[in-house]
């Protein structure tokens, strides 16, 4: 591809080190759609004849078929998916040699990655609604089930199971917004930036943008080939979701212990021990907790690739893809597994009620009653604290009463929990609808 300038090829021993094919293979559908759009743009500028355009489009569709069907023959010298596709296209039709006008692999890979990120962000939004829905429907079914709420993993005050489950749904809804932000960040069309300094050719950037359904054009050709912020945003959103799933998983692990016994793990989401016949382990939850490590690793690894890179494109940027793809795959897998795990949670009403009947959970209620009768809070706190110390604290009412008194916006009152669960379900539906419509269809 750069034969003119070189007398000798790259050392064969370095081909594997230099190649990114194993990783960026995943980009091929985007690379082909982007090449079709670029070719149409060249034709519209009068830089490519109709006949050549037709031959190129036809050739690209054939390359796509070969790749889809596993019939594509890779060469040792294919450095990445972009060179492999162009090499094969040119074997199929000599018109292929005209395709790369005005284009560099630098803006090409920036474009492919943005196309990938839009699809990934949309799939992630849809996957996250699976977990959110599962949490919302469990929350609705357990809106009035009382349980102890914890701080420092010590019994604190009464809450409801529904309220606690929705406390895991809210961060995931925020992650959905993070994924949508990452989508918007990727929604810029870089082609026409060339290697870094755009092109002397009259490229029709606006036409290519429309063809690929991008919201905007990139505005600086140097930034366009150097920027991976959109990928960093997406990987961060993946890490954030994975961290949230790990916290949900940890609650499930704790609840499933004999010591707590708040949930029973359904057989379908549990594993046994090869040695101890009695064991039923929360492996899926533990894996969710462990998998978060991968996502955090991806975030650190992408940030480290970008740190200190001089503008514009540097080959280091090839290392963006392992981190990006791993973060996306891991988040998608984890979200799907978490949805199944939540769907199969069976809460033990009696265990929960008995834990929630601990009178100490109502110590604050007693202090707050004193406040109602005019006692300054510090004084009330001390009085009740002494009763706890002396073992003479008497619950003023049943725990259900305490829950029904907790009726502020955002509080665990069963009516509020049920209403929020319904609203969360509706938000999930709206997010799924958004994901269905994004991104737009690519040229084929």
Contacts with ligand ARG, residue ranges (CB under 6 A): 20, 24, 80, 105-106, 109, 313, 315, 317-318
* Nearer to ligand ARG among residue 74 and residue 150 (C-beta): 74
Q: Is 137 a catalytic residue?
A: no
Instruction: Name 365's Cβ contacts closer than 8 Å, sequence gap at least 6.
Output: 395, 396, 397, 402, 405
Report the distance separating Cα 157 and Cα 140, nearest Å: 21
The C-alpha atoms of residue 324 and residue 232 are separated, in whole angstroms, by 8
Cβ proximity to ligand ARG, 86 vs 211, nearer residue: 86
CB within 8 A of 192, min separation 6: which ones?
102, 107, 198, 199, 203, 205, 208, 217, 221
DSSP letter, residue 130: H
Nearer to ligand ARG, 195 or 254 (CB): 195
Catalytic residue among 49, 75, 273, 354: 273
DSSP state of 310: P
Please state, in angstroms and rounded to a whole number, the distance separating the CA atoms of residues 102 and 355. Answer: 70
Q: Would you state the structure tokens that stand for residue 178, as one six-digit string?
A: 């993070």
Question: Of these residues, 82, 100, 137, 152, which one is catalytic?
Answer: 152
User: 76: closest CA among 32, 27, 18?
Assistant: 18
Torsion angles phi and psi, residue 263, rounded to 5:
-125, 150
Helix 283-306 × helix 320-343 angle, to 10°: 160
How many residues would you count in the chain?
444
Give the separation between CA 162 and CA 165, rounded to whole angstroms. Answer: 5
Shortest separation between residue 2's beta carbon and ligand ARG, angstroms: 10
Q: 94 CB contacts (<8 Å, ≥6 apart)?
A: none
Interior angle at CA 372, CA 144 and CA 367, nearest 5 = 70
Q: Which residues contact 218 (CB under 8 A, 6 or more apart)?
A: 188, 189, 190, 193, 224, 227
Hey, what are 123's tokens?
């799939």
Nearer to ligand ARG, 156 or 303 (CB): 303
Chain centroid to Cα 343, Å, comes to: 20
Looking at beta carbons only, is 146 or 323 nearer to ligand ARG?
323
Q: Is 369 left (phi over 0), alpha (psi -120 to 50) or beta?
A: alpha
Cβ at position 15, least distance to ligand ARG in Å? 13
Catalytic, 181? Answer: no
In the complex with ligand ARG, which residue's Cβ is closer, 104 or 246? 104
The least distance separating ligand ARG from the CB of residue 442, rounded to whole angstroms, comes to 20
Residue with Cβ nearer ligand ARG (317 or 431): 317
- Judged by beta carbon, residue 80 or residue 365, the one nearer ligand ARG is 80
Tell me the longest C-alpha to C-alpha distance in the chain: 94
Q: To the nearest whole angstrom, how small is the minimum distance from the Cβ of residue 313 to ligand ARG? A: 6
For CA atoms 239, 244, 246, 249, the dihedral sign is: negative
For residue 154, what is the enclosing H or E element? strand 154-160
Active site residues: 152, 273
């Amino acid at each position: 591809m750069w034969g003119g300038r070189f007398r000798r090829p790259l050392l064969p021993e370095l081909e594997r080190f230099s190649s990114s094919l194993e990783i960026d293979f995943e980009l091929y559908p985007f690379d082909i759609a982007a090449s079709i759009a670029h070719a149409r743009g060249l034709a519209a500028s009068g830089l490519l004849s109709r006949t050549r355009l037709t031959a190129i489009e036809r050739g690209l569709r054939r390359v796509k078929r070969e790749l889809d069907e596993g019939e594509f023959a890779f060469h040792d010298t294919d450095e990445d998916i972009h060179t492999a596709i162009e090499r094969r296209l040119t074997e199929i039709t000599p018109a292929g040699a005209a395709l790369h006008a005005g284009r560099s692999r630098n803006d090409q890979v920036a474009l492919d990655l943005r196309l990938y990120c839009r699809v990934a962000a949309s799939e992630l939004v849809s996957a996250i609604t699976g977990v959110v829905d599962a949490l919302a429907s469990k929350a609705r079914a357990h809106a009035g089930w009382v349980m102890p709420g914890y701080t420092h993993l010590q019994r604190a005050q009464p809450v409801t199971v529904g309220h606690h489950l929705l406390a895991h749904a809210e961060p995931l809804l925020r992650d959905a917004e993070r994924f949508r932000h990452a989508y918007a960040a990727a929604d810029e069309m870089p082609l026409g930036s060339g290697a870094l300094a755009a092109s002397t050719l009259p490229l029709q950037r606006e036409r290519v943008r429309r063809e690929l359904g991008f919201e905007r054009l990139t505005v600086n050709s140097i930034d366009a080939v150097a920027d991976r912020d959109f990928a960093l945003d997406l990987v961060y959103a993946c890490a954030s979701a994975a961290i949230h799933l790990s916290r949900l998983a940890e609650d499930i692990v704790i609840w499933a212990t004999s010591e707590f016994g708040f949930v029973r793990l359904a057989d379908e989401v549990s594993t046994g021990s090869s040695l101890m016949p009695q064991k039923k382990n929360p492996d899926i939850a533990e894996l969710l907790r462990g998998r978060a490590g991968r996502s955090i690793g991806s975030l650190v690894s992408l940030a480290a690739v970008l740190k200190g890179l001089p503008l514009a494109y540097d080959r280091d940027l090839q290392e963006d893809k392992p981190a990006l793809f791993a973060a996306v795959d891991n988040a998608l897998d984890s979200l799907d597994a978490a949805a199944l795990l939540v769907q199969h949670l069976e809460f033990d009403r009696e265990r929960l009620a008995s834990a929630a009947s601990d009178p100490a959970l109502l110590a604050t209620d007693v202090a707050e009653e004193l406040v109602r009768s005019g006692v300054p809070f510090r004084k009330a706190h001390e009085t009740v604290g002494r009763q706890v110390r002396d073992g003479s604290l008497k619950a003023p009412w049943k725990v259900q009463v305490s829950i029904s008194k907790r009726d502020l916006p955002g509080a665990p009152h069963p009516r509020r929990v049920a209403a929020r669960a319904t609203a969360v379900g509706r938000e999930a539906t709206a997010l799924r609808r958004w994901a269905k419509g994004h991104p737009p269809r690519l040229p084929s």
